[in-house]
Structure 1
Amino acid sequence: MKKRMHIILSAFLILLLAVVSSACGTQDTNADAGEQKSEKKELYSVGPLAGKRVALVMQLNLGTFSAQYISGVKEEVGRFGGQVTVFAADGDLGRMTANLDAAINQKFDAILIDHGTPAALQNGIKKAVSQNIPVVVFDADVKVPGVTVLQQGDKEMATSVLEKLAKDNGGKANIVKIWVAGFAPMERRQVAYKEFLKNNLGIKEVAAFGSATANTALDTQAQMEAVLKKYPNKGDITAVFAAWDEFAKGATRAIEQAGRTEIKVYGIDMSDEDLQMIQNPKGPWVASAAVDPKDIGRVQVRYAYQKLHGDKTPDSVELKSVLVTREELPAEKVTTDTLNKHIKDWGSSQQGIADWMKK
């Protein structure tokens, strides 16, 4: 009898363990399925487009703006299930040409281009198109049939921030312009700048400089320090118009170190580092016009995948910019990821999302 009870008890324990094991196994499986479902929800419905290799060919990979732009590219390619390889030329256009050739020869599925000049890019882009490699360009003034070119609305950005400068100073100011030739977006910003001076006779340019180097912000700081020594008196300089955020950073640091914070800085472009400087209540940088750098990368990728999908894409796309001013920002720290809580239209671009990409 005892033996029989022992057998029954053993069988019951074995059955109980099996049930518990089974329940645990089911719980793990459901958890995995939930995680997979959550992950899948964040992917586009790409099907055969998954696993594509995308080359990002850059003239410069400099500063936090470029870092966040690259982040946007990688994030969006990842949503399609692809991989990104970055080819940075450190400002060397000859190297950029070679990098573009390398991307073509390595048979990347799509090529994204960031800045550059027609002379450096045109032949390589034509070669890529002839091999049916989709190409989407950002801020380079190239015109090749079948290639989509993105730009930020540079004239609009320059005009909006310059109008803010004029308004803040009652239409009268002595300003320093920091700008450099040889970049398509800079050239467009310069057109807006000339038109602004023509229409605002109370705004006078007292100095102008600028160069794009491996240490642009640091070099700008040194150049701005020299300008401040040349114009040492309060009122000699009212404001700085910086046509690139690397210029704005250098000018801001020079003004702070010289104790000349009555001089205000008005910039173009935006990054997390820039936001911290603008939010400083005692700092000179008070406004910047910009497109979310991550959005730029995301939109560029979407058009590349439209091309891979066989969609017809436009020759040119203009990205909508916003003006970010200190008075619109809260006291607590803001990043480009949280800026949309305070600045309408920031970081929420739906440009380039085709119907087939939507769930």
Structure 2
Amino acid sequence: MKTIKALMLAATALATMAFAAQSSAEELSLKGKKIGVTVIGTDHDWDLRAYQGQIDEIKRLGGEAIALDAGRNDQTQITQIQTLIAQKPDAIIEQLGNIQVLTPWLQKIKDAGIPLFTVDTATPLAINNTTSNNYNIGAELALQMVNDMGGKGNVLVFNGFYSVPVCKIRYDQMKYVLTNFPDVKIIQPELRDVIPNTVQSAQSNITDMLTKYPNDGDVSAIWACWDVPMVGATQAVEQSGRKGVRTYGVDGSPDFTAMVADPNSPAAAVAAQQPYEIGKTAAQNVAKHLAGQKIPPFTFVPAVLITKENAAQTAGPFLPKK
């Protein structure tokens, strides 16, 4: 009975916190404010939803969004950042991209006296980065993978975007987990995921690797820091007819989540994020800052690990919309 009472009290507390957060968001305003939004690209489901969450919330709060999509081109994003600086908005939100390329331009935003906020870009130049807890995501997904492997076997790893901060964190956390499981090995050389043609490229790469390692047990798992390449990787495993090879990714893209939810698919787990909520929260943090509120360096929006075992209870919100 004590346990049930404790759970009820905890649920009440969470509901109260959620209501308070909602009420606080409703009281915020960006009326008369111009907010710049720069994103490296929106061709990926996660990127598009986070981007849209920012724009929608800025408008809902009465502000004007100056939203620019760089179409996956670093130089275009630099040019667009220069454009935003020249327009002197009340704040700028930057989403994803190559941190090595971005850093000097993020510094220019700060030097111009424009408050900088980021989405999934960890940098000391930003007042706040709204994101998932990628340290937890990386470790949790890796532990699920190792558990499914029984603590031994070989892993094919895609590592094409280590310069993107969230991918670096997830990869480093995966590697850290593996230091405690010496019988789990990463097959070298690592694979490189690409943009565009991500699914097709990953499918081709995995088809080649399964041909190179033809025996059951040669490959036990396939990992990437996001889940679009895992759609192609899963298709390659299915077409090969290989058993015992499972795929793992991050984001909760509808296509890969549907594979994880399919009991007959090799897709084993996905760390599903809430990109629209992340974008929306970033815009709210801008409003809070401009209203004089103190904002922490990071705002973490919860993610959920969807597995074969819990998909019936967790996958619904992330599945393709009918």
Question: Are 1:170 and 2:131 an aligned pair?
Answer: no
Residue 68 of structure 2 aligns with which residue? Answer: 87
Tell me which amino acid in the other structure corresponds to 1:317.
Answer: T
Superposition map of 1:147-162 within 5 A: 147-162=127-142
1:276, 1:334 within 8 Å by CA — same for their partners in 2? no
CA distance in 2, matches of 1:61, 1:67: 4
Q: Which residues of structure 2 form unaligned runs of 5+?
A: 1-22
Q: Which runs of at least 4 in structure 1 moved beyond 4 Å after TM superposition?
A: none
CA distance in 2, matches of 1:238, 1:337: 26
User: How big is each residue's C-alpha offset from its partner over 1:158-211, in whole Å with a ceiling of 9 and x where there is no partner?
Assistant: 111111112222212221111222111121122212212210112122242123
Question: Are 1:297 and 2:279 an aligned pair?
Answer: yes
Q: Which residues of structure 1 form unaligned runs of 5+?
A: 1-40, 340-359
User: How big is each residue's C-alpha offset from its partner over 1:199-233, in whole Å with a ceiling of 9 and x where there is no partner?
Assistant: 01121222421233222222222211111111122
CA 289–251 in structure 1, closer or farther in 2 if over 3 Å, else same = same
How far did 1:300 drift?
1.1
Give the RMSD, CA atoms, in angstroms: 2.8
Residue 53 of structure 2 aligns with which residue? Answer: 72
CA distance in 2, matches of 1:332, 1:313: 31
User: How big is each residue's C-alpha offset from its partner over 1:262-307, in whole Å with a ceiling of 9 and x where there is no partner?
Assistant: 3111111112233222212211112112321112112211111112
Residue 210 of structure 2 aligns with which residue? Answer: 228
CA distance in 2, matches of 1:55, 1:114: 11
Question: Are 1:250 and 2:259 an aligned pair?
Answer: no
CA distance in 1, matches of 2:54, 2:249: 24
1:43, 1:79 within 8 Å by CA — same for their partners in 2? no
CA distance in 2, matches of 1:65, 1:274: 12
1:179 to 123, 143, 159: 159
Residue 239 of structure 1 aligns with which residue? Answer: 221
Tell me which amino acid in the other structure corresponds to 2:167.
Answer: M
How far did 1:261 drift?
4.9
CA distance in 2, matches of 1:166, 1:125: 38
User: How big is each residue's C-alpha offset from its partner over 1:132-153, in whole Å with a ceiling of 9 and x where there is no partner?
Assistant: 4322112324222x62223422
Residue 116 of structure 1 aligns with which residue? Answer: 97
CA distance in 2, matches of 1:256, 1:119: 37
Residue 52 of structure 1 aligns with which residue? Answer: 33
CA 64–118 in structure 1, closer or farther in 2 if over 3 Å, else same = closer
1:57, 1:99 within 8 Å by CA — same for their partners in 2? yes
Tell me which amino acid in the other structure corresponds to 2:294.
Answer: K
Q: How many residue pairs are counted as aligned between the two chains?
A: 297
CA distance in 2, matches of 1:62, 1:129: 28
Question: Are 1:214 and 2:196 an aligned pair?
Answer: yes
CA 71–249 in structure 1, closer or farther in 2 if over 3 Å, else same = same
Counterpart secondary structure, 2:214: coil
CA distance in 2, matches of 1:86, 1:287: 33
1:98 to 79, 82, 107: 79
TM-score (norm 2): 0.82
How far did 1:42 drift?
12
CA distance in 1, matches of 2:117, 2:243: 42
How far did 1:43 drift?
7.9
How far did 1:246 drift?
1.6
How far did 1:338 drift?
11
CA 272–335 in structure 1, closer or farther in 2 if over 3 Å, else same = farther
CA distance in 2, matches of 1:107, 1:332: 43
Residue 188 of structure 1 aligns with which residue? Answer: 169
Residue 10 of structure 2 aligns with which residue? Answer: none
Tell me which amino acid in the other structure corresponds to 1:87.
Answer: L
Superposition map of 1:265-344 within 5 A: 265-330=247-312, 334-336=316-318
2:255, 2:319 within 8 Å by CA — same for their partners in 1? no
Query: Which has more radius of gyration?
Result: 1
Percent of aligned pairs with the same amino acid: 25
2:120, 2:129 within 8 Å by CA — same for their partners in 1? yes
2:220, 2:246 within 8 Å by CA — same for their partners in 1? yes
TM-score (norm 1): 0.74
Counterpart secondary structure, 1:57: strand
Question: Are 1:140 and 2:121 an aligned pair?
Answer: yes
1:289, 1:321 within 8 Å by CA — same for their partners in 2? yes
CA 188–223 in structure 1, closer or farther in 2 if over 3 Å, else same = same
CA 147–229 in structure 1, closer or farther in 2 if over 3 Å, else same = same
Tell me which amino acid in the other structure corresponds to 1:186.
Answer: C
